[in-house]
Amino acid sequence: MSPAREGREGIGTLGTALANLGTQRSGEPMGTNTNDRAAQRRDEAPVLCILDDDAATLDLVRDVAEESGWVAYGFSRISEVRQFLSGRRPTLLMLDDDLPDGRGGDLARELQQDESLGDLPMVVCTAAHPARQEEIGGWAPVISKPFELEEFERHLEASFPRPASRLRRQPTAG
């Protein structure tokens, strides 16, 4: 079991969690349900857009967000996030910096300068050198990897205030 998963209650192993994802496609919300009430709650829920090329981190962050009542969309490439943002505005955007097709921190700077998306709450999660983190911090909050999930939850709560956190422990991710 990954160290990030060890402290989570009721989640099981990462392999089990990944197997339970089935054929979930990138960019689709997890836990899609045809039940009308569930669909209505999903429509009213805050939306998290996650960009991270590490599948374990992406799945863990998505699980935490969904446990907190968010609808979470996960992507591994900047181009996928750009496409998502062209048709939807999330409540919070979480970006990894080091990606196969660019840097999430640079995307944060670009979005901050965009007239229609400049006020979009975002956070960059990265294991980058402190100098790079300081640079990114000029245009978006930075969470250093590995990070405590409690720190990530604080960003969720700040973007869309909710009742007290459902997490009982503080495992790390990233």
Rounded CA-CA distance 20/4 in Å is 18
Return the pLDDT at 140.
Answer: 86
pTM of the predicted protein model: 0.68
- Alpha-carbon distance values, 117 to 72, 86, 113, 169 (Å): 19, 10, 8, 34
What are the pLDDT digits (tens) for 97-110? 999 999 999 999 99
Rounded CA-CA distance 116/62 in Å is 25
Domain boundaries, the chain: 3-173
Return the pLDDT at 157.
Answer: 80
Phi, psi (deg, nearest 5) at residue 22 = 60, -130
Rounded CA-CA distance 106/37 in Å is 39
Return the pLDDT at 10.
Answer: 33
Return the pLDDT at 59.
Answer: 93
* Structure tokens that stand for 122 in this block: 């975002």
Return the pLDDT at 147.
Answer: 79
Q: Which residues of the chain have pLDDT under 50?
A: 1-25, 32-35, 37-38, 163-170
Return the pLDDT at 103.
Answer: 95
Which of 108, 102, 100 is CA-nearest to residue 135?
108
Neighbours of 9 (CB within 10 A): 7
Return the pLDDT at 137.
Answer: 85
Rounded CA-CA distance 89/49 in Å is 9
CATH of domain 3-173: 3.40.50.2300
Which class for 161: exposed (0-12), middle (13-18), buried (19 or more C-beta within 10 A)? exposed
